Amino acid sequence: MNMNKFIYLLIVPLFLSSCSYLLTDHKNDYLREKQEKSLDLPENLTTRPIIDYYPINSSNTETIGNEYNIPMPQQVFSSGTSNEVRMHKLGEIRWVYVETLPSSAWPMMNDFWITSGYSLAKSDPTSGIIESTNIGDSEIKSKLVMKVEHGIRQASSEIFVTHLEEIEGQWIRVVGDDNLEEETMRKVLDYFATTPPSGGTSLVALNLNYGQKAALIQDDSQVSFIELNLEYARAWAAVDRALKEALINVNDLDRDEGVFYVNFSREEQKGFIRRIFSGDSFKGDFKILVTEIDEKTCRVTISSEAEEAKAYERELLSEINQSLS
């Protein structure tokens, strides 16, 4: 019995002291902590550089009042479950196609440069441009420039790499065996293949999502056309692919003149059941013209000689635009 009293007298003070500690407010204890000496890393040990992927844009500090309505964030669309990555080549032009929005591809490309061994001289999410520092071993300076753009299709990205060297104060594209563009883009392909998508997106790169390269436009005179933010060679190839995917029959074509002669049937677009109950079937010939506006812009227009076919010009244009995007 005496032993039980002894244990009781021993436990009670311990319990009361622990309760006293738990009930005491310790939120300011950190203020009394002393700053310890910083860790010194060995000379042969390097750390991964810290890059701010989501910098806060500078703004003025003017007072706007006591109340402010914070706007809802813009919705970030994804391309679904597909994560297709491939390299395209058209003449001298090469690019990597990725089925994801540029705002999602941007952080991954920053990570790629860190693992590639190149140091970054510039990383601008608003323009989608990443530049390396000097990579030349000789007296001639050279650098790699990567550009992330929105692709022709919705929710897709196109990644371009250019190898430049400085000659007499001008940056000129490297030609020949010393060009590192294809080698770098293949490394990008390998990076996407071996790196699981994080699902993240860069808020400061959201503006890149609105640079889609194909748009159906109607001017003030009610004339419709497709505007392609592409060089002529790519614009021609894109329209050719769109016609094939839309199953539109091409009777003849002339690349030098930028002309496709096609046959468009409204019955083929409506389906069997709708054709039975619809008496306004149509089949006619059209001329599709791809015109170069400038080095980076082309326009697609449609015309027809038959008067009854003119009512279906916009419908055909919409079919092509849908296949493009």
Q: Would you place residue 73 in the very low, low, confident or very high pLDDT band (cuts 50, 70, 90)?
A: very low
For residue 68, is pLDDT > 90?
Answer: no
At 267 the three-state DSSP class reads: helix
Q: What is the mean pLDDT of residues 118-125?
A: 90
- For 24-178, where are the alpha helices, taking DSSP H only? 102-116
For residue 124 the two structure tokens come to 């601008």
pLDDT higher than 60, residue 323: yes
Pick the CATH number of 213-324 from 1.10.1450.10, 3.30.310.170, 3.30.200.20, 3.10.690.10: 3.30.310.170
Question: With pLDDT > 90 as the criterion, what percentage of the chain qualifies?
Answer: 30
All structural domains of the chain with their residue ranges: 85-209, 213-324
> Per-residue confidence at 33, pLDDT binned at 50, 70, 90?
confident
Model confidence at 287, in pLDDT bands (50, 70, 90)? Answer: very high
pTM of the entire structure?
0.65
CA–CA dist 55, 216 (Å, integer)? 34
pLDDT classification of 9: cutoffs 50, 70, 90: low
Q: How far apart are alpha carbons 263 and 285 in whole angstroms?
A: 5
User: What are the tens digits of pLDDT across the range 235-270?
Assistant: 999 999 999 998 899 999 999 999 999 998 876 444
Q: What is the pLDDT of residues 135-167, one digit of tens each?
A: 877 778 899 999 999 998 888 899 999 999 998
**Distance of alpha carbon 196 from alpha carbon 175, whole angstroms:** 34
For residue 173, which amino acid is it?
R
Q: For domain 85-209, say whether CATH 3.30.530 is its number.
A: yes
For residues 308 and 108, the model is more confident at: 108
Q: Would the CA dihedral through 120, 160, 124, 293 be positive or negative?
A: positive
